[in-house]
Structure formats: C-alpha cells, structure tokens
Amino acid sequence: MAATVQIATRIPKDVKDRATKVVQGYGLDLSSAVRMFVTEVADERRIPIRVDRPKVSYDGDSFGSDQEYFEQIPGFLGMLDKEAASDETYTPKESGWKL
C-alpha cells in the first residue's frame, strides 16, 4: 500500500458544516469527498470544477459582474467617461474618487 499523508486546511465552520451535509447525502464523509477531489485532480491533471476569477471587491463584497463592482466605487465610471471623451487624464484625486 502506498504511503499516505495528512492534508490540513482551514475553512469557515459554516462552510464545513454545509459541505458535510451535502456529502453525507451521497453517503460520504467530508474526508472521503476531499480525497476523491484530490485524486481526481491528480489523475486528470485538471481541477474538476469551474474556477473563475473571483468577483469580489477589496472589502470582500461579491458582485455578479465587473460592471456591478465598478458601479459601487463613487465617481469611478464617471472618471472613465470623462477620460474617454477627452485627451485629458484625470487622477482619482481630481475626480473625487477615493480608494
């Protein structure tokens, strides 16, 4: 039998609890589900789930699109519109936009 190693990861408790309920519905425990995932990654040499760039702002809020993200930054889209309509370059300070 091949040598085994232990993998430790930190996840929020609520995520672990929700995932445990899901995998139990398939007759598995969380450890078995993680082992299946890692084995699939190793065997298929790919991540078997869709992985996209996160749609998350710097403060952790989720957005459905880049447009939604940029709309929540006061003055940002207006600054881009001004810049696109002229040859001038506006800085965040000049536009009132704050990081």
Mean pLDDT of 27-42: 93
Output the pLDDT for position 60. Answer: 57
Higher pLDDT, 86 or 22: 22
- Give the span between the Cα atoms of 25 and 32, in whole angstroms: 13
Per-residue model confidence as pLDDT tens digits over 43-93: 988 888 876 655 555 555 666 666 777 777 777 777 777 767 776 655 555
- Give the span between the Cα atoms of 36 and 42, in whole angstroms: 10
DSSP H or E segment with residue 31 = helix 30-44
β-bridge partners, 56: 62
Whole-model pTM: value is: 0.50
- Domains of the chain, by residue range, sit at 13-44, 52-99
